Structure 1
């Protein structure tokens, strides 16, 4: 997150074509793809943080729908995960860049409902274990390649490939991600922010003064 914050800060002042903020169309954030006790989490664009600029919101919602389309089309379970700014997409949203992505789980506990739903849709044994963390090695020394659920990783990669290909098939990707009329209406409805995005505040849930 600190690295993403620095990257966007540099992009804001860059004059090099391809490295300026305005040269970015979308940020695809893949924050864990193979958690051992996985979920198929999709960032929910509707829960974008208050630090997200209005320009980023329509495209972020469309990214959510793209990923949903793949999981629904393949009859796989999926869950919304909060788009709360606590990962590398946060600085991009705050700079007005649309974002979206996937999340296979970290320190949250898998619920009984999730286990049962995943077992039903994927087959017995694929639902994991309820009541334990989705990734017990999250930010721990045991977080190694041997700790990856290869089935989850494979499906998450396929979903990402679908989303990227779908973006590539758009005849006017900029207009698709940044519909001028919708953004203008959001800007009319949304009060102007009185603070700037801060990665430390977002990650640790600290208040803005």
Structure 2
């Protein structure tokens, strides 16, 4: 994640301290699968191995980033997705977005899920943002494994150069025609979903976001409610890859487990963990390795991603 999210401000939002906001009625559809966290962790191990083999990072312009793109693409190609790699240039280096379309569904009614695949140069970026990248990858693979046939068209994206100013996602949205933008009805962003001292935050859909964002917020909250996990709303503004979509008036939502902000005593009582300590003490550091991930938070967020997708895309 590129810039700090103002958690303290988020706590002042009325009704933002629990997941009890009224969620939209459930749809009658195939139940979302329980995402096996061991599969997500296996993807994280692969990202760590790629970083280890490429100078310790998976950053924009570094070989570890392109290796990450190619590895994810191979998994999706084998599962029958239609993939394409979109290249762009920033700071004199070539960056890449990976876009993957699930077969079928209404091409005029698209649901997108995304997260940034790049790390900072100082480390392998396993929580930031291997966790979101690995989670949406496993959710994508489970679409195929379960035979899910959504009525909406589903598209996944892994963004490049987020850590340098949201470059990849901005490039993608700017490359779309007005008609293509209008076909995207929802974008869900997952950036840092396994922080070692986790919080459970849902993007505040009323925080200047496009119409329809509150419904996405409520859907994600409802997913956490099924797991008996309380949430807090967080004001995300333009600080992750949802920003380009919001600027294009596309409804946005997402989840987040915290960066270097400090967990309060009240939050520790609610979620466990350690008060007075950062949600992620290895944020943007070389210690952001596979040992810097809370498996419970990773598991819960992956399940909520699947819950929301199966309901929204059905």
Tell me the CA shift for residue 39 of structure 1.
Answer: 0.6
Contact persistence 1:43–1:81 (CA under 8 A): yes
Whether 1:145 and 2:281 are equivalent positions in the alignment is: no
Aligned partner of 2:199 in structure 1 is 39
Superimposed CA distance per residue, residues 31-59 of structure 1 (whole angstroms, 9 cap, x where no aligned partner): 110000111110010113xxx5xxx32x2
Whether 1:28 and 2:188 are equivalent positions in the alignment is: yes
Contact persistence 1:41–1:78 (CA under 8 A): yes
Gaps of 5+ in 2: 1-165
Aligned partner of 2:232 in structure 1 is 79
CA RMSD of aligned residues (A): 1.5
Q: 1:5 aligns with which of 160, 170, 173?
A: 170
Tell me the CA shift for residue 22 of structure 1.
Answer: 2.3
Tell me the CA shift for residue 11 of structure 1.
Answer: 1.6
SS at match of 1:65: helix
Paired residues, number: 149
Contact persistence 1:35–1:106 (CA under 8 A): yes
Superimposed CA distance per residue, residues 50-102 of structure 1 (whole angstroms, 9 cap, x where no aligned partner): xx5xxx32x21000000111222332121111131111001100001111010
Identify, as 1 or 2, the structure richer in helix.
Answer: 1
- Larger displacement relative to structure 2 (139-148 or 128-137): 139-148
Superimposed CA distance per residue, residues 116-145 of structure 1 (whole angstroms, 9 cap, x where no aligned partner): 112xxxxxxxx1111111011112222122
Contact persistence 2:227–2:300 (CA under 8 A): no
Give the ranges of 4+ consecutive aligned residues of structure 1 lying more than 2 Å apart after TM superposition.
none
After the TM superposition, which residues 106-185 of structure 1 pair with which residues of structure 2 at under 5 Å, given as runs? 106-118=259-271, 127-169=272-314
SS at match of 1:33: coil
Gaps of 5+ in 1: 119-126, 170-209
C-alpha distance in 1 between matches for 2:286 and 2:168: 21
